[in-house]
Amino acid sequence: MVRISLLTYLALGLGSTTVLADCGQAPSSSPSVQIPTGVLTPVTDFGVNPTGLDLHIYVPKDLAPKPAVILALHLCGGTGPIYSYLSNYNPHADERRSFVVLYPSTPHDNNCWDVASKKSLTRDAGGDTTSLANMVRWAISEFDADPAKVFVTGSSSGCMMSNVMAAAYPDIFSAVSCYSGIPAGCLAGSPGASPQNSDPTCGQGKMIKSGEEWAAVLKSIYGKPEGYTEGSYPKVQTWHGEADFFVNYPNLGEQLKQWSTVLDVPFSKTQANAPDTGYTKIVYGDGSKLVGYSAKGVGHTVPVHPEEDLKWFGL
């Protein structure tokens, strides 16, 4: 569990002014209500929220028109405000002024995202995925954001949910970058998604499937709603520590098998010491759709690399 002292919490400004946002108004180049800039702010009205999630948002000062939206998902035991500190995206938002960051929180199952239940592993079926998608839809409308620049990232449980969100909403997200997770659907049918309540098979890296089998699991999350036409999926980069014995290292290979099949890109090469010493970059195709990072000597979780994430997102 990640812990942060109350003193640090207050010093970081994580307990800032509450703002109610009305997502029913027409989109404009500026928010329909005055959300403070340069400070992490709670939002309590972002649309239908079937699982009772919380949301904080970071909006930089002098936000550029048609900004991007990043959905940043905390690890188990965490919260959105804590992850805003751990991920360090906010200073980059201030510098670039080109994106807003959504930091949701789940109060359920030891603060772990639901990546196990049928509701959450089905598009718009009333699980955590539905609440998270509605946050993103609200932000796109509220900030007149560029719908082609919507991204998802997260660590551990947040990476697990990043893969699930990309599977359930490939029409919303254009890129994923996440840390120390598992394949989409790996915990399907588990009694929970937390270390305390989940089937350990997946977390231990013992859920081994072919690329075709993993692709079928992923695509089942989107399903075939009325008018369905299968389109493209977001590009993906995923990071994992070779010394991770909590969400075990084989999960990197299983994620890469899943996404390489879905994105139809074969393995092409590895690159040593990229982006850091001891990291190996695993490239599929020309590297524009899928890459993995294997971190020697790194446990759970791989530290967030915000600049590499933003580069992957084109920001």
Q: What is the mean pLDDT of residues 36-45?
A: 96
Instruction: Look at residue 32 in the predicted model and tell me its pLDDT.
Output: 55
Q: Which of 131, 155, 156, 177 is catalytic?
A: 156
174 has pLDDT over 60: yes
Instruction: Look at residue 198 in the predicted model and tell me its pLDDT.
Output: 93
Query: Cα angle vertex 91, ends 87, 92, to 5°?
Result: 85
Question: Three-state SS string across the chain, please?
Answer: CCCCCHHHHHHCCCCCCCECCCCCCCCCCCCCCCCCCCCEEEECCCCCCCCCCEEEEECCCCCCCCCEEEEEECCCCCCHHHHHHHHCCHHHHHHHCCEEEEEEECCCHHHCCCCCCCCCCCCCCCCHHHHHHHHHHHHHHHCCCCCCCEEEEEECHHHHHHHHHHHHCCCCCCEEEEECCCCCCCCCCCCCCCCCCCCHHHHCCCCCCCHHHHHHHHHHHHCCCCCCCCCCCCEEEEEEECCCCCCCCHHHHHHHHHHHHHHCCCEEEEEECCCCCCEEEEEECCCCCEEEEEECCCCCCCCCCHHHHHHHHCC
| Residue 268 annotated in active site | no
23 has pLDDT over 90: no
Instruction: Look at residue 34 in the predicted model and tell me its pLDDT.
Output: 80
Q: How many residues does the chain have?
A: 315
Report the chain's mean pLDDT, rounded to a whole number.
90
CB distance 40 to 283 below 8 Å: no
Rounded CA separation 71/138 (Å): 12
226 has pLDDT over 70: no
Share of the chain above pLDDT 70, in %: 88
50 has pLDDT over 80: yes
Q: What is the mean pLDDT of residues 156-164?
A: 98
Question: Where does the pLDDT of residue 239 fall: very low under 50, low under 70, confident under 90, or very high at 90 and above?
Answer: very high
pLDDT digits (tens, 9 = 90+) for 103-120: 999 999 999 999 999 999
Scanning the structure block, which residue is given the tokens 């933003």? 310
Instruction: Look at residue 286 in the predicted model and tell me its pLDDT.
Output: 98
Domain ranges of the chain: 37-222+231-311
The architecture (CATH level 2) of 37-222+231-311 comes to 3-Layer(aba) Sandwich (3.40)
251 has pLDDT over 80: yes
Rounded CA separation 141/133 (Å): 12
Question: Where does the pLDDT of residue 227 fall: very low under 50, low under 70, confident under 90, or very high at 90 and above?
Answer: low
Instruction: Look at residue 223 in the predicted model and tell me its pLDDT.
Output: 80
